[in-house]
Structure 1
Amino acid sequence: MEAWWPKKFACVSDEPIYLLDMALHPAGAASAASCSDLALRLYDQATLQLVGECRGHISRVCGLTFAHARHDLLYSASEDGTVRAWDVRRPGGTAAQVFRGDRTHSFCSFDLSCGDVLLCAGTSLVDEDSLLMFWDSRKPNTVPLGVYSESHSDDITQVRFHPHDKDRLASGSSDGLVNVFDLRRGSEEEALLCTCKDDSAAVSVCWAEADGSHLLCLSPDEGLRLWDLRQLDTDRPLAVFSCPDVRHLELVPGGRRLDYLVGGAWLEGAGKLLVVGGDKGGDVCLMECDGDGLHLLASLHGGHTATVRCFVWDEVRGMLITGGEDARLLLWKPGGGEDNENSPAFKLKWRPHVIVQIQK
């Protein structure tokens, strides 16, 4: 039987570091983390051993994703106004490509289309303008193809391409709007398919369901909304579930409540919309969100000691990787060994299998 206690590794830096965002290699070979010291750290996905770093950004990284087909490419966007493509086979080198915006706008969000062709970054608000900027990843000229400038009136905090439709894009903003675009339709006005309104800012947007027909939106005051876009041409409301503040819900046994939400992810294999939250002590809650509300799947204890900022779900291995303000990167597995391998993962006790402490 496999021992469950964590293996520990450490890498050295000059200042305290915490993790901001994470991305998972599509083939399961590696994971990447953006850190507060502006570095992109690459880890072996199975062991979380550090295998390299990429450096070049001079401001906070606001988006991170691997290419879907060319698995050797990692894309990152930063408040420094650049999107960079890195060849992860040669960590430590300079960026393979640098995509630039204009000199006045910094980036707040970023994503890459499922076809690996279109890049999109959302900008901060400057002089009443917040922009969606687009680039073609195949072109050597890395200036934008074009911009959308009329659909948001504040910082564009999230952009998410549809998981299966390369021309479908959702954008969320501090103005409380989540817009859905069909990029095949010429002008910005024609491309805007619908606008979903939130009572607060949108800080996280996630496509859900196997056909990508639902949108999950999280707000900075720990609110959550789930919209069904199939209801656009009906008289039924778009929102199939709405909670203005999940901190008031009794989800955790023993009377404890959530302090914050981290984000959401659609789990293809399980057919679930996973929502991750936690408390200030470092405990993590895995929840399912559907039209009936939020349902606790599992509570994860004994790993983090501070707020968790990011996570990725390893669909192939059924594992979770989390990173937080305690400068820890954790790999979680359900159960303790092979005896449990045929049991439903969310019915088992989750334990930290590997802990990486990023320290001074």
Structure 2
Amino acid sequence: MCSVSSGAASMEGLEEKLGGLSLARRSRPEQPTYLLDAALQPGGAALLAVSCSDFTVRLHNKDTLSLVGEFRGHGGPLCGVTFGHTSPDLLYSGSADGKVRVWDVRRPGGAAAAAAAAAQTFSSAAAHSYYSLDVNCSDGLLSAGTERLDEDSFLVFWDPRKPGAAPLGVYSESHSDDITQVRFHPRDKDRLASGSTDGLVNVFDLSRGAEDEALLATCNCGSSAGAVCWSGPAHQQLLCLSQDEGLYLWDLSRLHTDEPLALFSATDARGLAPPAGGGGVDYLVGGRWLEGASRLLVVGGTSGGDLHLMECDGGGLRPLRSLEGGHASTVRCFVWDEAADALITGGEDAQLLLWKPGGAELTAGMKESLKSQSALKLKSRPHRRVSFQKEKKKKT
């Protein structure tokens, strides 16, 4: 009974938080560019990093959305940004140019600043083009996933504490197409999930070393894997949103049981949680486990820029709140600011929006779109269809 009561209280708390959100701030850049990915500086710091389709990384104040600085240096589309965990002043960005750059956000560049602002640069084979990246919770391991090269795609690993060092190694057998997502576990420095356009989401225990031994589970999302998110109170669940709007939730605590890993799956999740006010969901943006509410938040949107906030668990998707009148086009990224109970969103209209409790937009005006041609196009290739595969038993 205690768990039911606690769950109900958490649910009421989340609905109350989301119900109070309204548009508080709007950032309008001078040049049109897609906002592709965003990351909050950990530890309650004030910075927000955004990767853009013009190959730049922009730093904003998360509370005012004012532009603090800008990093230039990449020569191809960016595949993501993430802050260090134990060293939150370091910001990692990866690119199709085959470089992972590390920036010191205490020395942000301006519009005229050049690539010299990069504190560190990591690379692997000259032909590698990175599609995803992440750093583990101890900042002791950096990983990037590559686009397919001939018949292979690679997970590359470095020690970020050794500037410019060669890779520690690569995994090359577990995926056969572009590796679209690399996500380290929030608390276990050796646990890694990777998603690919081959339709597979793999889970590794890197402490085992060799790729065959490290592979714990292979899950099939039936299509190109898009966003991947660790979730659940102990982060033992894994959410995958496919690039054709499928949704899959797996429970990895069942790896050593006879129970199926799948808690919930839907090949097309857009119609599962119709908003109360009518309309529908055209696409899924991503998911995030909210620690304070102990709930998994999934964000969807419409081509016109409206946002739909939903909760996901083993019972499926449920609508929580719609946010209208903000964006004018497709939303590409969001972050949840746990300390402020605020949502920050960015997208193809080049706008960065802050939604917070009791917010009243300070700069009124028409909702405008600065939509430009994207420098980053989603790719889709034929994928292998395989069933769930639990951990291989060691030969005796």
The TM-score normalised by the length of structure 1 is 0.91
| Structure 2 match to 1:71 | 88
Write the deviation string for residues 16-56 of structure 1: whole angstroms up to 9, x where unpaired: 21201001010331101011111111001110110100110
Q: Secondary structure at the match of 1:203?
A: strand
Distance in 1 separating the partners of 2:91 and 2:272 = 38
Q: Secondary structure at the match of 2:270?
A: helix
2:257 aligned with 1:241: no
Distance in 2 separating the partners of 1:70 and 1:230 = 30
Q: Secondary structure at the match of 1:313?
A: strand
CA RMSD of aligned residues (A): 1.9
2:317 aligned with 1:294: yes
Q: Relative CO higher for 1 or 2, CA cutoff 8 Å, sep ≥ 6?
A: 2
| Structure 2 match to 1:25 | 41
Distance in 2 separating the partners of 1:146 and 1:308 = 36
Q: Secondary structure at the match of 1:277?
A: strand
2:166 pairs with one of 132, 143, 147:
143
| Structure 2 match to 1:340 | none
Indicate how the Cα distance of structure 1 residues 268 and 128 shifts in structure 2: closer, same or farther if over 3 A, else same: same
More strand by share: 1
Unaligned ranges ≥5, structure 1: 337-350
| Structure 1 match to 2:143 | 120
- 5 Å-filtered alignment, 1:186-335, equals 186-335=209-358
Q: Secondary structure at the match of 2:118?
A: coil
Distance in 2 separating the partners of 1:284 and 1:91 = 31
2:190 pairs with one of 162, 167, 178:
167
- 5 Å-filtered alignment, 1:180-191, equals 180-191=203-214
What amino acid maps onto 1:12 in structure 2? E
Give 1:10 deviation, angstroms. Answer: 4.0
CA contact (8 A) 1:331 1:353 kept: no
Indicate how the Cα distance of structure 1 residues 353 and 252 shifts in structure 2: closer, same or farther if over 3 A, else same: farther
Unaligned ranges ≥5, structure 2: 1-21, 110-115, 373-396
Percent of residue pairs identical: 62
Give 1:122 deviation, angstroms. Answer: 0.3
CA contact (8 A) 1:163 1:212 kept: yes
| Structure 2 match to 1:84 | 101
| Structure 1 match to 2:79 | 62
- For this pair of structures, how many residues does the alignment match? 341
Indicate how the Cα distance of structure 1 residues 7 and 220 shifts in structure 2: closer, same or farther if over 3 A, else same: closer
| Structure 2 match to 1:348 | none
Moved more, 244-253 or 264-273: 244-253
Write the deviation string for residues 263-322 of structure 1: whole angstroms up to 9, x where unpaired: 011110110111010111111011110011111111111110100000011011110000
Give 1:78 deviation, angstroms. Answer: 0.4
Distance in 2 separating the partners of 1:353 and 1:319 = 16
| Structure 2 match to 1:34 | 51
Which runs of at least 4 in structure 1 moved beyond 3 Å after TM superposition? 4-11, 351-360
Distance in 2 separating the partners of 1:56 and 1:173 = 27
The TM-score normalised by the length of structure 2 is 0.82
